[in-house]
Amino acid sequence: MLLPLPFSMKISVIGTGYVGLVTGACLANIGNDVICVDIDDERISNLRRGVIPFYEPGLRELVEQNAAQKRLMFTTDSQLAIENSDVVFIAVGTPSDGNGKADTAAVFQVADTIARFINGKKIVVVKSTVPVGTCAKIKERLSAQIKGRFGFDVVSNPEFLREGEAIQDFMVPDRIVIGADNGEAAQKIVALYKAIERTGRPIVVTDLQTAELVKYASNAMLAARISFMNELSHLCEKVDADVKAVARGIGLDSRIGSRFLQAGAGFGGSCFPKDVRALAQIMKEHNLPSDMLDAVESVNTRQKLSIVPKVMKLVPDLKGKRIAVWGLSFKPKTDDMREAASIAIINELQKLGANIAAFDPVAEISARKIFEGISYAETPLGALEGAHALVIVTEWDLFRELDKAKMKELMAAPNIVDARNIYDPKDFREIGFSYVGVGR
């Protein structure tokens, strides 16, 4: 998907995590010269050999292609990268500290590195998700160290990349948000995205703090929709309504829209849980109540655990029983296990004495670092052998079209907890399965 280039810029991207690497590869792909920097030697030497540190469809090909065409290079030498670029992206992590606040230490460290090696006018673009006001603080910090020797601007350009869809989200975004307090700097970054804007994608230009807030508010709004539906799913179960049909019924209202209304085992990942907490924390720091955000989080924690009583409804005594779990990553098309619902569910099932046989098409390696005492099957059907129940935690596509009769034959008891509502209950009940979904 090589787009026509208006002109190319010299860019460095600091941090080759998920966001940094996708950003670097995509910016190279639209014709810029990009240097990706990381302090992790092994990661950089792997990237030079085309080895991507996580699973993201299409990324390896994009990296290989752009590296071969010499638009994308990898280094641990931040001085070399900064000196050879006009635009420096900060794309390092901002994990939750113990209190739900975003830890911005790595972001400020990169700012200090930029101040140290700056050799001419630069635009510093903050891609990392940072609390409102951080870009202004970065600006102050750079000013204090650069002391007028070189000009610089700070621009906020939050990312909206979904894992598993990141390249598409970068190349064909719903919108691009650019925050700056200097019109000229904003326009330079707008120009960087010209190739994408040309395909009809809108760019929202605003001030620094608004752009920072748009990022948190987007994730929090999406998470709120999910928690709303999850809360409603319990009422659906009581009154015999179907939450999937409720989602369809309300989603067809164009003011609401149909996406992110799927009830299930709760949201996970490196972003929603962390960003909901961080936004609540920012509200508290401003002495504002954060009731909605707090509820989004607590409903979600409850939702993950609410899958366990569903299993017990089908298998009341779990001691020594084999329970198959399909899907471990926090969502399909990724091997990311951060805050995955599978963690809360499997830990609880194990406490109740169950033996877990898990299958995930890509997350097994990451899962092995988290779980103890569970076995892994090589195929979905392999996990079912002798199982007293199957729990579907992550809705990988390959689970959708399996031979139901074969599934039943392999299991010790035909029980399914479909925690992502991927099946039509009728299809399973018809052949003798006991089926429990979420909110239906």
- 214 vs 226 by CB, closer to ligand UGA: 226
Among 33, 38, 56, 163, contact with ligand UGA (rule: CB under 6 A): 163
- 189 vs 296 by CB, closer to ligand UGA: 296
Q: How far is CA 413 from CA 17, 274, 360, 431, 432, in A?
A: 43, 38, 21, 13, 10
Report, in Å, the least distance between residue 271 CB and ligand UGA.
Answer: 3
Report, in Å, the least distance between residue 189 CB and ligand UGA.
Answer: 18
- 333 vs 388 by CB, closer to ligand UGA: 333
| Residues in contact with 171: Cβ distance below 8 Å, sequence separation at least 6, in sequence order | 1, 3, 26, 29, 196
- 126 vs 142 by CB, closer to ligand UGA: 126
How long, in residues, is the chain? Answer: 440
Catalytic residue among 26, 36, 135, 271: 271
Report, in Å, the least distance between residue 91 CB and ligand UGA.
Answer: 11
CB-based burial label for 39 (10 Å; 0-12, 13-18, 19+): middle
From the CA atom positions of the chain, what is the Rg in Å?
Answer: 24
Residues of span 242-301 touching ligand UGA by CB under 6 A: 260-262, 264, 267-269, 271-272
36 catalytic? Reply is no
Residue 437 binds ligand UGA, judged by CB under 6 A? no
Report, in Å, the least distance between residue 369 CB and ligand UGA.
Answer: 19
Report, in Å, the least distance between residue 340 CB and ligand UGA.
Answer: 7
Residues of span 398-427 touching ligand UGA by CB under 6 A: none
Q: Which range, of 102-110, 159-167, 345-353, 428-436, touches ligand UGA by CB under 6 A?
A: 159-167
Report, in Å, the least distance between residue 259 CB and ligand UGA.
Answer: 7
- 169 vs 207 by CB, closer to ligand UGA: 169
Among 60, 162, 302, 408, contact with ligand UGA (rule: CB under 6 A): 162
Q: How far is CA 151 from CA 334, 349, 376, in A?
A: 41, 58, 56
Residues of span 122-151 touching ligand UGA by CB under 6 A: 129
- 65 vs 258 by CB, closer to ligand UGA: 258
Give the pairing type, strands 322-326 and 415-418: unpaired
Report, in Å, the least distance between residue 129 CB and ligand UGA.
Answer: 6
Given a contact cutoff of 8 angstroms between Cβ atoms, the answer to whether 408 and 431 are in contact is yes
Report, in Å, the least distance between residue 67 CB and ligand UGA.
Answer: 24
Give the pairing type, strands 152-156 and 176-180: antiparallel
Residues of span 181-220 touching ligand UGA by CB under 6 A: 219
Residue 330 binds ligand UGA, judged by CB under 6 A? yes
Residues of span 24-63 touching ligand UGA by CB under 6 A: none
Given a contact cutoff of 8 angstroms between Cβ atoms, the answer to whether 147 and 200 are in contact is no
User: What gap in Å lies between CA 127 and CA 99, rounded to an integer?
Assistant: 23
Residue 226 binds ligand UGA, judged by CB under 6 A? yes
Among 153, 159, 212, 335, contact with ligand UGA (rule: CB under 6 A): 159
Number of residues that bind ligand UGA (CB under 6 A): 20
Residue 179 binds ligand UGA, judged by CB under 6 A? no
- 332 vs 380 by CB, closer to ligand UGA: 332
Among 71, 277, 322, 331, contact with ligand UGA (rule: CB under 6 A): 331
Residues taking part in catalysis: 271
Q: Which residues of this protein are in contact with ligand UGA, per CB under 6 A?
A: 129, 159-163, 219, 222, 226, 260-262, 264, 267-269, 271-272, 330-331
